[in-house]
Amino acid sequence: MDLQLEHDVEHPASWWEGRSAQQLQEFVRAGFMSGELYSGAQREIERRARESLRQVDEAARIETAHRKHQSNQVAFSAAGIGLVAAIGALIWLFLR
C-alpha cells in the first residue's frame, strides 16, 4: 500500500469509508509519522466500532421486543383457554 499520500490533504468521509479494515490498520501501524492518515484512520476505526455497537444494540432491542410479544401471546392464549374451560365447567354444572 502506498502510504506516501499527501499528509496535509484532508480526505472526505466517503474516502475513509471506502478503506478496508486492513488499509486502516496499516495507516495506524505507520503511527504519527503518517500524519492525517493516522488520525483519520483512528477516527474511521472508532466510527465503525460505534456503528457495529449500534447494530448489536438494535438487534438486541428487536429480539427483546419479539420475546415480549411472544410472552404476551402465550399469556393471552392461556387466559383464553382458562376462560373457555371455566365457561364449559359452569355449563356442565348447570346442565347436569
Q: For the segment 22-54, what is each residue's pLDDT rounded down to a tens digit?
A: 999 888 888 877 788 898 999 999 999 999 999
pLDDT attached to residue 78 = 96
Neighbours of 42 (CB within 10 A): 13
pLDDT attached to residue 33 = 78
Q: Where are the alpha helices (DSSP H) in 1-96?
A: 13-17, 21-30, 36-95
pLDDT tops 60 at residue 94: yes
What is the mean predicted confidence (pLDDT) over 12-16? 90
What span, in angstroms and rounded, lies between the C-alpha atoms of 39 and 8?
A: 12
What is the mean predicted confidence (pLDDT) over 8-18? 81
pLDDT tops 50 at residue 8: no
pLDDT tens-digit map of 46-90 = 999 999 999 999 999 999 999 999 999 999 999 999 999 999 999
pTM recorded for the entire structure: 0.62
The amino acid that residue 94 corresponds to is F
pLDDT attached to residue 9 = 55
